């Protein structure tokens, strides 16, 4: 038996629906992956974990001065609610969060540019902003073809800096509000916080010769709102399922674990939960291979390695053996590899990125209808993963040193907010 891109692609089609953290659909996809892993002959089970969730019941924004107009908004999940009946606030556009703007935000509804990053949130909270407004999309978006994104205040922000009233709107509306010189607005937000349940799907194939050495395969199977997540990242999920099938039929020397992570899009919550729950076995982990985004027709292969330059050279040579052009580099990658590298486990990511104009991520365009994915391109990453897995598993002595370069450790610490990024 060999791997089959066709079979992988068929499974991808079956699981092409929105799978947001803690939703019934995420659970349904987990059950489907579990059944598939079991049918391949592997021992498999589901591990649940708790996720801080939020549900927004009502969100409203009306500019009241010098004109009156209501705009479409979404409330941030885990945001603070306004008092019943809402609040009336002066409006301020802080195009940067330099002191010249921060000095003016106290007690106001503050619109910022771009994503609400943790450092921005800290500044706005400390400066006393009464509400935070962000926007997404572009000023030329057609309402019928786009969504007003739903965002969340992650615990990494609310735990240290407290919760806030926060709303997201469309870029075109944000531009209109600023252009028309809004000075006052009425805001209503009613939100509820609760603990949701997400899950990782976990399978294992015991090694025949060196069972005490563990190679871990990972891919997240959740998606963001409005996205069917076929590219990000059911593509990676079906690829590691093929590897599981292959190694179930061709027993590996070393133990192989296959994890499909839930809630990656909420801050790597599945892999963080898994590494925390399995801390005692991480000493046995020799490598983590993560796949996050694949199958793009027009694209390129990238392999960020969270280990050492020696590991980069090794992976690069393996890609050359099979004639796959791949940019292998020592770098962090924002995915489930991070909690492993944080615990000292070397990690390799295999990704195939869609190029500009042929790669859609984190919105409704991550969908088969966008015509940017195909089976042949999925096979490229599948073959890379298979070759890497076969070569490391078959090695007499494990070829990748269990070491994380200091520059990667620094990047991981910055990523996990333990350290200020270098200016």
Q: Which residues bind Zn ion (CB under 5 A)?
A: 232-233, 292
Residue among 329 and 362 whose Cβ is closer to Zn ion? 362
Residue among 81 and 233 whose Cβ is closer to Zn ion? 233
Residue in 203, 284, 285 with CA at minimum distance from that of residue 237: 203
Residue among 216 and 290 whose Cβ is closer to Zn ion? 290
How far apart are CB 266 and Zn ion at their closest, in Å?
12
Residue among 120 and 232 whose Cβ is closer to Zn ion? 232
Residue among 146 and 233 whose Cβ is closer to Zn ion? 233
How far apart are CB 19 and Zn ion at their closest, in Å?
12
How far apart are CB 422 and Zn ion at their closest, in Å?
26
Q: Which residue's entry shows tokens 């996809």?
A: 29
How far apart are CB 339 and Zn ion at their closest, in Å?
14
How far apart are CB 166 and Zn ion at their closest, in Å?
23
Residue in 192, 226, 191 with CA at minimum distance from that of residue 25: 226
Residue in 215, 206, 213 with CA at minimum distance from that of residue 347: 215
How far apart are CB 317 and Zn ion at their closest, in Å?
27
Residue among 157 and 338 whose Cβ is closer to Zn ion? 338
How far apart are CB 293 and Zn ion at their closest, in Å?
6
Secondary structure (H, E, C), 304-353 = EEECCHHHHHHHHHHHHHCCCCEEEEECCCCCCHHHHHHCCCCEEEEEEE
Residue in 423, 412, 408, 292 with CA at minimum distance from that of residue 361: 292
* CA atoms in the 13 A half-sphere facing the CB of 412: 24
Identify the sign of the CA torsion 156, 160, 162, 167: negative
Q: Are 258 and 41 in contact (CB under 8 A)?
A: no
Residue among 247 and 360 whose Cβ is closer to Zn ion? 360
How far apart are CB 233 and Zn ion at their closest, in Å?
4
Residue among 172 and 338 whose Cβ is closer to Zn ion? 338
């Amino acid at each position: 038996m060999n791997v089959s891109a066709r079979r992988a692609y068929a499974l991808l089609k079956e699981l092409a629906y929105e799978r947001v953290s803690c939703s019934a659909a995420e659970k349904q996809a987990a059950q489907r992956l579990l059944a598939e892993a079991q049918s391949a002959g592997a021992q498999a089970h589901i591990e649940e974990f708790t996720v801080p969730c939020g549900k927004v019941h009502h969100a409203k924004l009306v500019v009241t001065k010098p004109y009156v107009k209501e705009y479409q908004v979404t409330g941030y999940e885990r945001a603070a609610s306004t008092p019943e009946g809402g609040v009336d606030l002066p409006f301020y556009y802080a195009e940067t969060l330099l002191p010249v703007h921060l000095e003016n935000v106290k007690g106001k509804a503050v619109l910022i540019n771009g994503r609400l990053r943790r450092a921005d949130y800290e500044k706005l909270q400390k400066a006393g902003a009464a509400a935070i407004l962000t926007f997404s999309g572009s000023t030329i978006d057609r309402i019928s073809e786009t969504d007003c994104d739903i965002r969340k205040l992650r615990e990494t922000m609310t735990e240290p800096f407290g919760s806030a009233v926060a709303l997201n709107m469309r870029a075109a509306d944000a531009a209109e509000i600023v252009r028309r010189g809004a000075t006052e607005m009425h805001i209503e937000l009613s939100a509820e916080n609760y603990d949701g349940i997400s899950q990782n799907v976990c399978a294992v194939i015991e090694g025949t010769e060196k069972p005490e050495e563990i190679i871990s395969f990972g891919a997240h199977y959740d998606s963001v709102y409005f996205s069917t997540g076929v590219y990000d990242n059911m593509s990676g999920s079906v690829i590691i399922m093929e590897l599981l099938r292959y190694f179930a039929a061709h027993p590996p020397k070393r133990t192989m674990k296959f994890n499909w992570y839930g809630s990656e899009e909420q801050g790597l919550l599945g892999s963080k939960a898994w590494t925390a729950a399995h801390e005692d076995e991480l000493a046995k982990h020799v490598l983590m291979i993560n796949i996050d985004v694949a199958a793009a027709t027009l694209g390129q292969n990238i392999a960020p390695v969270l280990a050492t330059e020696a590991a980069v050279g090794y992976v690069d040579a393996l890609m050359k053996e099979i004639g796959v052009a791949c940019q292998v580099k020592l770098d962090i990658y924002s995915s489930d590899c991070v909690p492993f590298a944080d615990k000292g486990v070397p990690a390799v990511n295999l990704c195939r990125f869609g190029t500009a104009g042929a790669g859609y991520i984190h919105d409704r365009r991550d969908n088969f209808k966008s015509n940017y994915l195909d089976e042949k391109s999925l096979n490229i990453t599948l073959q890379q993963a298979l070759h890497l897995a076969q070569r490391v598993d078959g090695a007499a002595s494990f070829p990748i040193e269990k070491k994380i370069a200091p520059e990667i450790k620094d990047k991981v610490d910055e990523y996990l907010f333990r350290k200020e990024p270098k200016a």
